[in-house]
Structure 1
Amino acid sequence: MNDRPRILITEKIADAGVDVLRAVGDVDVELKWSADELAERIAPYDALVVRSATRVTAALIVAAPRLKVVGRAGTGVDNVDVPAATKRGIIVVNAAGSNAVSAAEHAIALMLAQARNIPQAHAALVDGRWERSKFGGIEVTGKTLGVIGFGNIGRLVAERAMGLGMRVVAYDPFVADARYREMGVEQADSLDDLYPECDFITLHVASTPETRGFINADALGKMRDGVRIINDARGDLIVEADLVAAIGSGKVAGAAIDVFPEEPATESPYFGVEGIIVTPHLGASTGEAQERAGAACAEQVAAALTGGVVTSAVNIPVVSAETMATVGPFLPLAGHLGRLAAGMAGRITDSIEVICEGEIAKHDTRLLVTAVLAGALTGHTVESVNMVNAADRARERGIEWSDSATTVARDYTSRLKVRIGDVSVAGTTVGSTARPRLVEVLGQSIEMELAEHVGILRYADKPGKIGTVGTVIAGQGINIASMAVGRSLEGEATMGVTVDTPVPPETQAAIADGADAEVWFVELDV
């Protein structure tokens, strides 16, 4: 009887990756199966290896009773229903970091292509026009490059730019100060500080509610005249119409775009605009990146099938049933508290402190610490952040963390507290479904269930403040779902509020002005 695992590959990966898998199991490579055929035939397989085209849905997972591991030969796992896989105990692995060098080099290539008008000159010449004077360019040596997003790819871009003799200024509020100093890169305190300094600006941030469309008319207006933009990160970071208008007015000299809000993109406001170079999402499209992705994914799948060490799983690692019974219900809360604290702090340049109190402190709390790190970094890195890689992502950014545990939890069976800089938040869970509940903010006791859209205000405890907040929010057509207030003997109050829809920045500013308050609104994945 053959007890070797059966492995199905549905999209082309590097031959080296296929060889790795053949060493541990029987491999079938089926590149032409439709979604229906895959669902009909997947039942006998122990492992499935895909790239981006195959959709691993909850229904497909149900149709695969033997499946133990899904491998994604790339970084993103948007095409895999990770929660459904986790529920079934299926490990999902990817090839984290496999395309970083290629993406960084493509950003540099786009910058140089802009500086020397290479695509335009090529198109003119093959069209029979010799126009040397029209396509004179600029040198990059001695120019300033602004790097927005100083994660793995951003740092690789900075290294290469400095090798070209450029001055590099970077902004990323979730990278430790020491990382900038180590590389000799200047650290901008804010985007507003970075914009006017730069001849070129390259984007390397994730797409989040805070970053979508952040390169807009207002931001472009703060930039140096003649700036050139590079984007091979996410297509929705830039308001397309605003960039086109800025190029038309001469404010922006050019742009190089590799990513689009909707892909594949066969129509775009960018197409045909003089001064804009476009490529069809080629950032990771190198033989080396694809080779690394296929081989790295295959090694992880092989490790999962043979009981080896899996280092790039994107779902929750296995812990004892006893620990998970107590700690598991607090994992979502830990992520929410990490995200809330990071959102309020605005940046993490030093350390994160996690304090476990009560019953949860009697168990292995490393998962809780990891969940806090994942929550704090989510949305602030180009690379995906999850329970498995959060610690590595924090280390890459020079962020340290500490944790402590005490079996005493004042007023609660268990309580979890997170501190980032001057910001501290604490919470617990309530009910049979372990609903996440906020119980302390900025040292003030407050009782409020967490929700998707959370606002925190700190102000002098005087009459009329609650009414002002309610009036401003309601005046924008935003419904308040809940509100809670904590008060101190020193005359300071802290308010927590949840609303049904996001609160735009101008409304937040109106609240701050009307109530004379510090205001933070944070989006949580509740």
Structure 2
Amino acid sequence: MGTLARADLRVLVCERIADAGVEHLSNLFSVDLGLDWSKEELEERIGAYDAIVVRSATKVTGDLIARAERLKVVGRAGTGVDNVDVPAATRRGIVVCNAAGSNALSAAEHAIALMLAQARNIPQAHSSLVAGRWERSRFGGIEVTGKTLGVLGFGRIGQMVAERAKGLGMHVVAYDPLVAEGRYRELGVDKADTPADLYAVADFVTLHLASTPETRGFVDAAAFAAMKPGARLINAARGDVVDQDALVEALRSGHLGGAGIDVFPKEPTVESPLFGLPGVVVTPHLGASTEEAQDRAGIVVAEQVAAALTGGVVTSAVNIPAVGPEALEVLGPFLPLAKLLGQLLAVLVGGPAPVEISYEGQLASLDTRLLTSAVLEGVLHGRIEEPVNVVNATSLAEERGIEWSEITIPRARDYTNRLSLRAGDVAISGTTVGTAARPRLVEAFGQDIDIELAPHIGLFRYLDIPGQIGRVGTILGLAHVNIASMAVSRSRAEGLAVMAVTVDSPVPPETVRAIQHVEGFDRVWFAALEVDSA
């Protein structure tokens, strides 16, 4: 079914995008080009438009949004939305969408280009020759055929890099705990169980990690020490996932054979200790800078804006899509809970596993696809390189071979509504409480428990013998970690207990190990959850 034209809807294109994108919008709506508008003119005229399309130069601020009385959608012709005040748009019910995935192919090709340029010293040889020097012996390189490429981060871009590397005759090994075994087999790629396993065999290591608190500085001095002597690093992902000082030292010491770097911790960068080092190739964040990627971004965002204006499915929205008012009254309070339970489940399971999602009570009578997406968003949160939200979570999960199923149970146990997740031998349940719909954990590992989900939460299974609670409290106290709340559930039949604690600060790794070593403790987890501060 085609999209119906709506000449009464007005779209403002503030920056240059692909002609095909403008044409697509013009065939459906009334389109104006404001390519040379000043900030003041934009503020004065924005109230007449139902949609605005920008790239990176135009700032869609909260103040601008407040002036946009008719605005229904903001389209960003790129993969990020840093120049858009998403919370302000969300409060106004305005869809914010981008051109997610439009630059994936260009980024993958640039990583391959950096690898080849670095392996054959192409930039250095070019500079030498145009300066009047013929130095064949100085710039001899290595072949990539038969070498092993280690792909750290095996999402969409990492998988594209792997496919192209295999076409060059390379052996590929990848690490990503969120990608299922079947996906590795489909692509003919070996799975590394740990980053260290990858470092031990890779001649080239290419990074395709998201920038998150967990991945910043991920490739550090210890990682470089674990790499093969002479290995080469390629980074076309994010600059801050690498410890730059450690990289420089590994190159200067000769332990690394070279590097191809497209991204830096702070950009723009015009000075760096990497510049001029032998075997180092650098580019100014060119991963997405191809004509095709820019054209693709314009076309994709035009399609997304059109879908938003005509009631279609907006597959790259970065804020919560619209839900009918009756369903939203029930589903809305469970969205934060679904995401939090998904995050917690990912920590408890530790890797990809089929997820069973159970909806009990009134939830079972509604369309729960939005909640399922929120669960998967939580499962993937902070663990993949792409931005993940309730709109794209299912497709990203499918891409990684993550399986899930849904069960509906009309009558909930003990609560009006209940959401339960199971993966392997891990099962957890939650509900919301009070007028503020506070998310609470109400069951873990088959045992009833009641504790509010907080940013820092710990779960333990242990032998139910005297003194265990005190031992945990003592260890946390000695580490200056304050316990905010605690809940305990006992199973007399099994002789085991489950304890949940929320704490005020992250728990140091050595403190976690100390609890793990307490006699009778079967399993110990601490999770950092992204809890909404509403």
Q: TM-score range by the shorter chain?
A: over 0.9
Q: TM-score, normalised by structure 2?
A: 0.93
Q: 1:220/1:468 Cα in 2 relative to 1: closer, same or farther (>3 Å)?
A: farther
Q: 1:457/1:37 Cα in 2 relative to 1: closer, same or farther (>3 Å)?
A: farther
Give 2:527's aligned amino acid.
V
Give 2:213's aligned amino acid.
P
SS in 2 for 1:357: strand
Distance 2:428 2:399 in 1: 25
Give 2:525's aligned amino acid.
W
1:466 is the counterpart of 2:453: no
Offset of residue 35 of structure 1: 4.2
The aligned counterpart of 2:414 is 411
Q: 1:454/1:57 Cα in 2 relative to 1: closer, same or farther (>3 Å)?
A: farther
The aligned counterpart of 1:47 is 51
1:292 is the counterpart of 2:296: yes
Distance 1:335 1:209 in 2: 18
Structure 1: 5+ residue runs without aligned partners?
Answer: none
- Aligned pairs for 1:20-419 within 5 A: 20-348=24-352, 350-419=353-422
The aligned counterpart of 2:528 is 523
Distance 1:454 1:127 in 2: 61
Give 2:60's aligned amino acid.
V
Give 2:127's aligned amino acid.
A
- Aligned pairs for 1:407-446 within 5 A: 407-446=410-449
Task: Check conservation: 2:7, 2:30, Cα contact below 8 A.
Answer: no
Q: 1:461/1:218 Cα in 2 relative to 1: closer, same or farther (>3 Å)?
A: farther
Aligned length: 524
Deviates more, 1:461-470 or 1:69-78: 461-470
Deviates more, 1:433-442 or 1:469-478: 469-478
Offset of residue 3 of structure 1: 5.5
Distance 1:478 1:123 in 2: 56
SS in 2 for 1:92: strand
Q: 1:257/1:502 Cα in 2 relative to 1: closer, same or farther (>3 Å)?
A: farther
SS in 2 for 1:370: helix
Q: 1:46/1:454 Cα in 2 relative to 1: closer, same or farther (>3 Å)?
A: same
SS in 1 for 2:210: coil
Q: 1:124/1:495 Cα in 2 relative to 1: closer, same or farther (>3 Å)?
A: farther
Give 2:523's aligned amino acid.
E
Q: 1:507/1:237 Cα in 2 relative to 1: closer, same or farther (>3 Å)?
A: farther
Give 2:168's aligned amino acid.
L
Q: 1:37/1:494 Cα in 2 relative to 1: closer, same or farther (>3 Å)?
A: farther
Offset of residue 270 of structure 1: 2.7
Task: Check conservation: 1:144, 1:198, Cα contact below 8 A.
Answer: yes
Structure 2: 5+ residue runs without aligned partners?
Answer: 1-5
Q: 1:473/1:271 Cα in 2 relative to 1: closer, same or farther (>3 Å)?
A: farther
Give 1:68's aligned amino acid.
K
Distance 2:487 2:317 in 1: 39
Distance 2:120 2:46 in 1: 51
Distance 1:112 1:342 in 2: 37
1:449 is the counterpart of 2:452: yes
Distance 2:165 2:114 in 1: 12
Task: Check conservation: 2:9, 2:30, Cα contact below 8 A.
Answer: yes
SS in 2 for 1:42: helix
- Aligned pairs for 1:439-518 within 5 A: 439-489=442-492, 490-514=494-518, 516=521, 518=523
Distance 1:315 1:377 in 2: 16
Offset of residue 218 of structure 1: 1.4
Distance 1:127 1:512 in 2: 62
Distance 1:123 1:469 in 2: 62
How well do the aligned residues superpose, as a CA RMSD in angstroms?
A: 2.0
Distance 1:271 1:465 in 2: 55
String of CA shifts for 1:291-317, please: whole Å, max 9, x gaps. 000011112212322344433323323
Give 2:329's aligned amino acid.
A
Q: 1:465/1:248 Cα in 2 relative to 1: closer, same or farther (>3 Å)?
A: farther
Task: Check conservation: 1:342, 1:420, Cα contact below 8 A.
Answer: no
The aligned counterpart of 2:3 is none
Give 2:315's aligned amino acid.
T
Q: 1:54/1:473 Cα in 2 relative to 1: closer, same or farther (>3 Å)?
A: farther
Distance 1:410 1:422 in 2: 20
Give 2:264's aligned amino acid.
F
Distance 2:59 2:458 in 1: 36
Deviates more, 1:246-255 or 1:283-292: 246-255
Offset of residue 11 of structure 1: 2.0
SS in 2 for 1:503: coil
Distance 2:69 2:11 in 1: 14
Q: 1:517/1:262 Cα in 2 relative to 1: closer, same or farther (>3 Å)?
A: farther
Offset of residue 128 of structure 1: 3.8
Give 1:486's aligned amino acid.
S
Offset of residue 439 of structure 1: 1.2
Identity %, equivalent residues: 64
Task: Check conservation: 1:114, 1:255, Cα contact below 8 A.
Answer: yes
Q: 1:79/1:305 Cα in 2 relative to 1: closer, same or farther (>3 Å)?
A: same
String of CA shifts for 1:495-516, please: whole Å, max 9, x gaps. 2222233234343233323565
Distance 2:515 2:43 in 1: 52
Offset of residue 437 of structure 1: 0.8
Deviates more, 1:5-14 or 1:175-184: 5-14
SS in 2 for 1:224: coil
Task: Check conservation: 1:511, 1:517, Cα contact below 8 A.
Answer: no
